[in-house]
Homo-oligomer: A and B are copies of this chain.
Amino acid sequence: MPILITDADDPRIEAYRAVRERDLVGRQNRFVAEGEVVLRVLVRQPRFEIESLLLAEGRAEGLADLLALLSPEVPVYSANRTVMDTIVGFPIHRGILAVAKRPPMPSAEALLDSLPARALVVGLIGLTNHDNVGGIFRNAAAFGADAVLLDRETCDPLYRKAIRVSVGGALVVPFARAASGIALMTALKAASFEVIALSPSGREVLSQVRPSRRTALLLGAEGPGLPEDVLAETRTVSIPMSGGFDSLNVATTSGIALHHLTRAEHDPAL
Of B172, B246, B252, B266, the contact of A252 (CB 8 Å cutoff): B252
Q: List 16 A-B contacts (CB under 8 A).
A: A135-B249, A138-B247, A139-B252, A141-B242, A142-B245, A142-B246, A143-B242, A167-B247, A207-B259, A207-B267, A208-B267, A249-B251, A249-B255, A255-B255, A256-B256, A259-B260
Beta-carbon nearest neighbor of A44 in chain B: B244
Please measure, in the bound complex, the distance between the C-alpha atom of A205 and the C-alpha atom of B205, giving whole angstroms.
22
Please measure, in the bound complex, the distance between the C-alpha atom of A243 and the C-alpha atom of B135, giving whole angstroms.
18
Copies in the complex: 2
How many A residues face the partner with a CB closer than 8 A?
A: 38
Please measure, in the bound complex, the distance between the C-alpha atom of A233 and the C-alpha atom of B247, giving whole angstroms.
34
Of B144, B205, B242, B266, the contact of A144 (CB 8 Å cutoff): B242
Inter-chain contact A241/B143, CB cutoff 8 Å: yes
Beta-carbon nearest neighbor of A134 in chain B: B249
What is the CB-to-nearest-CB distance from A263 to chain B, in angstroms, rounded to a whole number? Answer: 4
Q: Which residues of B contact A207 (CB under 8 A)?
A: 259, 263, 266-267, 270
Please measure, in the bound complex, the distance between the C-alpha atom of A242 and the C-alpha atom of B139, giving whole angstroms.
10
A269 in contact (CB, < 8 A)? yes
What is the CB-to-nearest-CB distance from A143 to chain B, in angstroms, rounded to a whole number? Answer: 6
A26 in contact (CB, < 8 A)? no
Of B138, B240, B245, the contact of A141 (CB 8 Å cutoff): B245
- A residues touching B (Cβ–Cβ < 8 Å)? 135, 138-139, 141-144, 167-169, 172, 205-208, 239-243, 245-249, 251-253, 255-256, 259-260, 263, 265-267, 269-270
Of B142, B172, B241, B248, the contact of A248 (CB 8 Å cutoff): B142
Beta-carbon nearest neighbor of A167 in chain B: B247
Beta-carbon nearest neighbor of A245 in chain B: B141
Q: Which residues of B contact A252 (CB under 8 A)?
A: 135, 138-139, 251-252, 255
What is the CB-to-nearest-CB distance from A237 to chain B, in angstroms, rounded to a whole number? Answer: 12
Of B139, B205, B267, B269, the contact of A266 (CB 8 Å cutoff): B205
Beta-carbon nearest neighbor of A169 in chain B: B245
Please measure, in the bound complex, the distance between the C-alpha atom of A253 and the C-alpha atom of B167, giving whole angstroms.
15
Beta-carbon nearest neighbor of A243 in chain B: B144
Please measure, in the bound complex, the distance between the C-alpha atom of A269 and the C-alpha atom of B209, giving whole angstroms.
12
Please measure, in the bound complex, the distance between the C-alpha atom of A208 and the C-alpha atom of B141, giving whole angstroms.
22
